[in-house]
Amino acid sequence: MHIDLTQGDIKVQLKKLAVPASVGFFFHTMYNVTDTYFAGLISTQALSALTLSFSIFFMMIAVAGGMSEAVTALVGNALGEKNREKAVHIALNALLFALILSLVLTIIGVVSTPYLMMLLGAKGAYLEESLAYINVILYGSAFFVFSFFINALLNAVGDTVSFRNILIVSSLLNIVLDYWFVMGGLGIDPLGVSGIAFATVITEFITVIYLFYKLNKTPLLDTYREFSLDRSVFKAFITQGFPPSVNMIMMATGIFIMTYFAAPFGQEVIAAFGIGMRIEQIILMPAIGLNVAVLAIVSQNNGARQFERIEKTRKISLYYGAIISFTGMLVLLVGAEQLMHFFSDDRKVIEAGSLYLRVEAFILFSFVVIFVHLALLQGIEKPAFIFYISIFRQIIAPILMLSLLTFFGLGVFWIWVSIALIVTFSAFVTWRYSRQKLTEVSKCQGEGNRN
Q: What local confidence, expressed as pLDDT, does residue 451 receive?
A: 47
Q: What local confidence, expressed as pLDDT, does residue 55 receive?
A: 66
* 325, 287 Cβ separation under 8 angstroms: yes
pTM summary value: 0.67
pLDDT tens, position by position, 237-268: 877 777 777 767 777 677 778 777 877 777 77
Determine the Cα–Cα distance for residues 274 and 49; give it in Å rounded to an integer.
10
Whether pLDDT at 190 is above 70: no
**How confident is the model over 328-349, as a mean pLDDT?**
85
* 271, 47 Cβ separation under 8 angstroms: yes
Query: For helices 364-379 and 44-80, what crossing angle results, to 10°?
Result: 40
Cβ-count burial 396-429 (b if 16+ within 10 Å, e if not): ebbeebbeebeeeeeebebbbbbbbebbeebbeb
Reported as a pLDDT band with limits 50, 70 and 90, residue 10 is confident
Q: What local confidence, expressed as pLDDT, does residue 337 receive?
A: 86
Reported as a pLDDT band with limits 50, 70 and 90, residue 200 is confident
pLDDT tens, position by position, 83-113: 777 888 888 888 888 888 888 888 887 887 7
Q: What local confidence, expressed as pLDDT, does residue 209 receive?
A: 92
Please name the residues in contact with 44: beta carbons below 8 A apart, sequence gap of 6 or more.
Answer: 267, 268, 271, 344, 346, 349
Whether pLDDT at 2 is above 60: no
Judged by DSSP in three states, 401 sits in helix
Closest CA to 85 of 235, 236, 222: 222
pLDDT tens, position by position, 45-61: 666 666 666 666 776 67
Torsion over CA: 33, 363, 384, 108 (sign) = negative
Q: Would you tell me how many other CB atoms lie within 10 Å of the CB of residue 224? A: 12
Please name the residues in contact with 439: beta carbons below 8 A apart, sequence gap of 6 or more.
Answer: none
Maximum Cα–Cα distance across the chain: 74
* 355, 412 Cβ separation under 8 angstroms: yes
Judged by DSSP in three states, 188 sits in strand
**DSSP codes, 70-81:** HHHHHHHHHHHT
**How confident is the model over 193-220, as a mean pLDDT?**
85
**How confident is the model over 204-210, as a mean pLDDT?**
91
Whether pLDDT at 371 is above 50: yes
Q: Would you tell me how many other CB atoms lie within 10 Å of the CB of residue 58? A: 18
Closest CA to 153 of 64, 220, 82: 220
Whether pLDDT at 1 is above 80: no
More confident residue, 218 or 425: 425
Q: What local confidence, expressed as pLDDT, does residue 224 receive?
A: 63
Cβ-count burial 306-321 (b if 16+ within 10 Å, e if not): bbebbbebbebbbebb
pLDDT tens, position by position, 377-421: 878 777 778 778 888 888 888 889 888 888 888 877 888 888 889
Q: What local confidence, expressed as pLDDT, does residue 284 receive?
A: 83
Q: Using a pLDDT cut of 70, give the percent of the chain over it.
A: 88
Determine the Cα–Cα distance for residues 65 and 247; give it in Å rounded to an integer.
10
* 299, 379 Cβ separation under 8 angstroms: yes
Reported as a pLDDT band with limits 50, 70 and 90, residue 3 is low
Determine the Cα–Cα distance for residues 390 and 9; give it in Å rounded to an integer.
33
Whether pLDDT at 428 is above 90: yes
At residue 185, φ and ψ (nearest 5 deg) are: 130, 160
Whether pLDDT at 425 is above 90: yes
The alpha carbon torsion through 149, 154, 159, 164 (nearest 10 deg) reads -30
The 8-class DSSP code of residue 185 comes to B
The letter for the amino acid at 90 is: I
Mean pLDDT of the chain: 80
Closest CA to 253 of 54, 50, 98, 402: 54
The 8-class DSSP code of residue 437 comes to H
